Amino acid sequence: MNSGQEPTSAIEVDGLRFRYPGADVEALTGVDLRIERGDITAVVGGNGSGKTTLCKTFNGLVPHYWSGDFAGTVRVCGVDTRTTSVADLSHLVGYVYQDFGNQLVRPTVRDEVSFAPVNFGLDDHAERTEEAMELLGVAHLADRFTWQLSGGQQHLVALAGVLALRPEVIVVDEPVAELDPARAEGIYEALTGLNARLGTTIVVIEHHAEFVARYARTVLLMADGAPVWHLPVREALERHEELDRHGIPAPQIAGAVRALVPAAPVPLTVPEAAEALRGVPLGGAAEATPAPPVGETVAELVGVHHGYREVGGGLTRVLQGVDLTLRAGERVALVGGNGAGKSTLLRLLTGLKVPREGTVRVEGTDTRTVRPAALADRVCHLYQRPEQMFLKDNVREDIAMFPRGRGVPDTDALVDSILDRIRLTDLADRDGRLLSGGQQRRATLGIGLGVRPALLLLDEPTSSLDTASRDAVIAMLDSLAETIRCTVVATHDMHLVAAWAHRVVVLDGGRIVADTDPAALFADPDLMDSVGLIPPQIVRLGLELGMEPPPLSVAELLDRGLATTGGGSDAHR
C-alpha cells in the first residue's frame, strides 16, 4: 500500500467545508490541516466545534455515508477520500467510537476482531486476529462474549477490531467519556504502545487536558468548524487562557505551577511539576476541617452476603460480610474496582434486591418486610446511564411522575422549583434523551429531588462528562444537603471524591477494606493500587512534594503554600 516511503503526511486536508443535509450552518468551515505520520494528535474543542465531523472525514464516513455539501480535499496517506470507498479506506483508517460498546457487532471477542478481515476475504485473517488481540493484551478473552466484558475490555476489543486491518491511522473518539480514568490510562498506554511499535498515527478527540498533556505530541484546537491552531503539546498548553475559553481547563498541575512559579515551562507530568516546584515553600499543615457532626442512622447493612447466579449455574459472590452504617449529614463515596460490589450494594439499599444473608435496614425498616415501592419515598437510586431514568417523553413529566403518583400537594410548584434549581426550565418540555450529557445528569438529579428521599444513591454521576459539566454536577451535589439527609455516590472519579466526599468506603472483592476520608485514602498508595484507583493530579503532586496529608484541590495547595514560612521547605529538599 504505502510502498513509497517518502515522508508524506498521514492526513492532509485542504479547504474542507462540509454541511450536513438539512443543516443551516456548516459543520466544517474551511479546514486546512496536516498530520504527520507517526504523530499522536489530540483534537480538542468545545461541543459542536466540529471535532467528530472532522475525524469522520478521515475514514470517508463523511461524505460517503453522511452525504452533504462537501468541498475541498482530504487525503489519507496520499489517497483522496472522495474517490475511495469507506470499505477501502478502512484499511488505512480505523475508527473507535465514543460509545464503543455499540461498535461491537459479534457475540464473541475473536469473532468481533476477525469480523473485518473475514468480510474483506483476507486469507491471513486468523494471523491478523491473533496479532491484534496479542498487541492489545486481550488474547485471553478470545472466547468470551462481548457483553460479559467490562467497559475497558470492550474498548480494547473495539480497538483490536480496527487494528486487525493494520491501519496507518487510528482515530479514537473520547476514550475517557465512558471509561473511568484508570482504564482510560490503560487505553492511552495501549495507543502509545502501538504508536511506538508500529508507527501508527494516532488521532484522539479528548476533553481532558491532563491526558492531552501526558500522551499527545501535537494539539489541534477546533472552534466553529475550523482549526484555531495546531501546535506541539507544550506550546499548546502554554495558551491556557485560550484553551479555557474553549472549555478545556488547564490540568491541575499546570494551574498550580503557574500560580507559584510563573516563569517555569508548563509541566506535562506530575514529576515535571514537582521538579518545577522544588524550592517553593510548601507543605504547611492542613487546615483542620471540623469533622461533620454525626447524625442518627439513616440506613445500615448488617452481615450482608449477596451473590448472583451465572449463566453456567454457578453462584458468583459479590458481597461477603458487609457491615456499614450510613448516618444523616454524611457524603459517602463508595469506591472500588469493577466487580467490587458497588452497584450490588446500591441495589440492596433500594430494596429491589434483598440480601441472601444478613439484614438491610433503611430508616429502621428491614427491606425484606416491604415491597420496593414502599421504600421508594425514602431511597432514590439514580442510574449510571441517565437515559434509563427517562420514562416519560419530557423532563417535566419525568420529575413530576413520582410526586404526582404519591399525591404530593402542589406537585406543579414543586416541579417548577426543581427545574429552576437544576437550571433546565427552558428545556423542560424536551425528551431527556435529546439533552447533552451534563443536562441529562442534571435532569436525573431533578428526578431524585422530586422524590425527596432520606437516602440518595448515585451511580457514577460524573462519568462521560466534560470537565465543565462535571464541575456543574459536583456543585449541584454540594447543594443537595439541605434536602437530602444522606447521599451515597458510587464512583471511579477521584476528582469527585476529592471535591465532594467526606467519607470514603473502599470495597474490594465484596468486602469493605477501608472506611476513611479522602485525604487519608489518597495518602495510602498501597490501598489505592490494590483497588486500581488513581488519585487526582494535585494529590499526586502534593505526595511527590512530601505534603502530609496531601492537598485535595489546587486552592488548598496554594493556601498551604502561602501559609508556611520559608523554613518548611528544607524538609523535602
Contacts of 355 (CB under 8 A, 6+ apart): 301, 304, 305, 306, 319, 348
Stretch that binds another protein, among 194-202, 260-268, 301-309, 565-573 (CB under 8 A): 301-309
**Residues between 521 and 550 with contacts to another protein, criterion CB under 8 A:** none
Sign, CA dihedral 342-346-348-352, equals negative
CA distances from 352 to 309, 343, 375, 380, 458 (A): 16, 12, 9, 11, 15
For the bound state, the minimum distance from the C-beta of residue 114 to another protein, rounded and expressed in Å, comes to 9
Question: 19 - beta bridge partners?
Answer: 69
- Is there binding between residue 161 and another protein (CB under 8 A)? yes
Q: Do strands 40-44 and 218-223 pair parallel, antiparallel, or not at all (unpaired)? A: parallel
- Is there binding between residue 125 and another protein (CB under 8 A)? yes
Stretch that binds another protein, among 176-184, 186-194, 304-312, 512-520 (CB under 8 A): 304-312
Under 8 Å between Cβ of 79 and 167: no
Q: Among 200, 266, 253, 212, which Cα is nearest to 51's?
A: 212
For the bound state, the minimum distance from the C-beta of residue 284 to another protein, rounded and expressed in Å, comes to 48
For the bound state, the minimum distance from the C-beta of residue 121 to another protein, rounded and expressed in Å, comes to 2
Query: What is the C-alpha to C-alpha distance for residues 69 and 29, in angstroms, rounded to an integer?
Result: 11
Binding mask 252-291 for another protein (x = CB under 8 A): ----------------------------------------
**Residues between 51 and 90 with contacts to another protein, criterion CB under 8 A:** 59, 61, 65, 85-87, 89-90
- Is there binding between residue 388 and another protein (CB under 8 A)? yes
Under 8 Å between Cβ of 505 and 346: no
Residues recorded for the chain: 573
Binding mask 335-354 for another protein (x = CB under 8 A): ---------------x-xxx
**Residues between 357 and 376 with contacts to another protein, criterion CB under 8 A:** 367-374, 376
Whichever of 368 and 572 has its CB closer to another protein, that residue is: 368
Whichever of 85 and 289 has its CB closer to another protein, that residue is: 85
Sign, CA dihedral 492-483-329-366, equals negative
Whichever of 122 and 139 has its CB closer to another protein, that residue is: 122
Query: What is the C-alpha to C-alpha distance for residues 325 and 348, in angstroms, rounded to an integer?
Result: 14
List the one residue from 23, 25, 71, 391 that touches another protein (CB under 8 A).
391
Sign, CA dihedral 544-546-549-554, equals negative
List the one residue from 131, 242, 397, 431 that touches another protein (CB under 8 A).
431
Number of residues lying near another protein (CB under 8 A): 73
For the bound state, the minimum distance from the C-beta of residue 86 to another protein, rounded and expressed in Å, comes to 5
Stretch that binds another protein, among 94-102, 174-182, 457-465, 472-480 (CB under 8 A): 94-102
Under 8 Å between Cβ of 361 and 351: no
Which single residue is written with the C-alpha cell 422530586?
A: 450
List the one residue from 293, 312, 566, 567 that touches another protein (CB under 8 A).
312
For the bound state, the minimum distance from the C-beta of residue 389 to another protein, rounded and expressed in Å, comes to 7
Whichever of 109 and 505 has its CB closer to another protein, that residue is: 109
For the bound state, the minimum distance from the C-beta of residue 141 to another protein, rounded and expressed in Å, comes to 16
Q: How many CA atoms lie within 13 A of 347 on its CB side?
A: 14
- Is there binding between residue 504 and another protein (CB under 8 A)? no
152, containing H or E segment: helix 151-163
Whichever of 118 and 302 has its CB closer to another protein, that residue is: 118
Whether the bond into 63 is cis, omega within 30 of 0 = yes
Stretch that binds another protein, among 191-199, 327-335, 388-396, 540-548 (CB under 8 A): 388-396
**Residues between 439 and 458 with contacts to another protein, criterion CB under 8 A:** 447, 451
For the bound state, the minimum distance from the C-beta of residue 376 to another protein, rounded and expressed in Å, comes to 4
Under 8 Å between Cβ of 399 and 476: no
Q: Among 85, 86, 129, which Cα is nearest to 109's?
A: 129
Joined grid coordinates for residue 3:
510502498
**Residues between 13 and 52 with contacts to another protein, criterion CB under 8 A:** none
Query: What is the C-alpha to C-alpha distance for residues 203 and 169, in angstroms, rounded to an integer?
Result: 7
- Residue 340 CB coordination number (10 Å): 24
Under 8 Å between Cβ of 264 and 562: no
Binding mask 97-116 for another protein (x = CB under 8 A): x-x-xxxxxxxx--x---xx
Query: What is the C-alpha to C-alpha distance for residues 295 and 277, in angstroms, rounded to an integer?
Result: 42
For the bound state, the minimum distance from the C-beta of residue 172 to another protein, rounded and expressed in Å, comes to 14
- Is there binding between residue 210 and another protein (CB under 8 A)? no
For the bound state, the minimum distance from the C-beta of residue 308 to another protein, rounded and expressed in Å, comes to 7
For the bound state, the minimum distance from the C-beta of residue 100 to another protein, rounded and expressed in Å, comes to 8
Whichever of 61 and 212 has its CB closer to another protein, that residue is: 61
List the one residue from 150, 320, 383, 564 that touches another protein (CB under 8 A).
383
Joined grid coordinates for residue 329:
449529614
**Residues between 393 and 422 with contacts to another protein, criterion CB under 8 A:** 393, 401-402, 404-407
* Residue 339 zone, left/alpha/beta (φ > 0; ψ -120 to 50; rest): left
Whichever of 248 and 389 has its CB closer to another protein, that residue is: 389
SS3 label, residue 389: helix
List the one residue from 128, 207, 306, 492 that touches another protein (CB under 8 A).
306
Where are the extended beta strands (E) located within 348-390? 357-362, 365-366, 379-382
For the bound state, the minimum distance from the C-beta of residue 122 to another protein, rounded and expressed in Å, comes to 8
Instruction: Report, in this order, helix, strand and coil percent for the chain, each rounded to 5.
Output: 40, 25, 35
List the one residue from 288, 291, 311, 571 that touches another protein (CB under 8 A).
311
